Structure 1
Amino acid sequence: MSSELTEEEMRRALFGTPQPEEQVSAPRVSEHVPEVVPKKPATAPQVNKKTAKAFTPRLKVTLRVGNEFEGKMTELIHEADTLSSLLAEQEAVRAARKKYKYVELVSVKSM
């Protein structure tokens, strides 16, 4: 028995026998159908309810800032809307650097 297979036999072994494709006829176009416009049902006017304010996590970052080296320093409090103390610290320092040259972190507390 020969182990040589023809290309056609290999295709049949891998992919199976080809099945004839079924021809699908195009859908019929029906005659003009009158359009029906849906009307809004009559409902009572809705009363705007006040939604409860969702809890947003906040951290209070306290910084000492100043423009003179070893000069007068003032305290600055920044509120951040995050749970990450690192992100809150970075955000506060970035905001303080816009106005002050020297920034020192004092504390990061949750509110």
Structure 2
Amino acid sequence: MSNELSEEEMRLALFGPSNPSTDPVPAPEPEPTFVPPPAPTPKPRRVVKALSPKLRVTLRATKQFGGDVEVLTYDANTLSTFIAEQEAKAEAKKKKFRYFELVSIKPI
């Protein structure tokens, strides 16, 4: 058997016998039309509450020992009660208060 095949023999082996008079004429394919996808409907957005952690610190503060007592409130953006208390005392010191008494620390 010969290992060398001509082009016609290879075509015959791969595609079988072809006769142009018996080959069906392919029907013309219709041109594809572009159909845009439907626009997505917007979903209503939920109103989200701010999730920043806050603590409200209440202090009684005076400028002089035994003087007039003022109630101060401070809102801290933290969950740590210790840090919230320290920030509230620092704010009171800026306002020239010298004596502090912690009343409460509550989450808001």
Instruction: Look up the match of 1:96.
Output: 92
Shift of 1:71: 0.9
Contiguous gaps of at least 5 residues in structure 2: 1-44
Q: CA RMSD in A?
A: 2.6
- 45, 53, 60: which one aligns with 1:57: 53
Amino-acid identity (%) = 43
AA of the residue aligned to 2:48: A
Q: Does structure 2 conserve the Cα–Cα contact (< 8 Å) formed by 1:96 and 1:103?
A: no
Contiguous gaps of at least 5 residues in structure 1: 1-48
Instruction: Look up the match of 1:109.
Output: 106
State the TM-score, normalizing by the size of structure 1.
Answer: 0.51
State the TM-score, normalizing by the size of structure 2.
Answer: 0.52
Moved over 3 A (4+): none
Paired residue secondary structure (1:76) = strand
Partner Cα distance (1:74, 1:55) in 2: 31
Partner Cα distance (2:46, 2:58) in 1: 34
Q: Does structure 1 conserve the Cα–Cα contact (< 8 Å) formed by 2:65 and 2:99?
A: no
Find the structure with the greater CA-based Rg: 2
Q: Work out the number of aligned pairs and report it.
A: 71
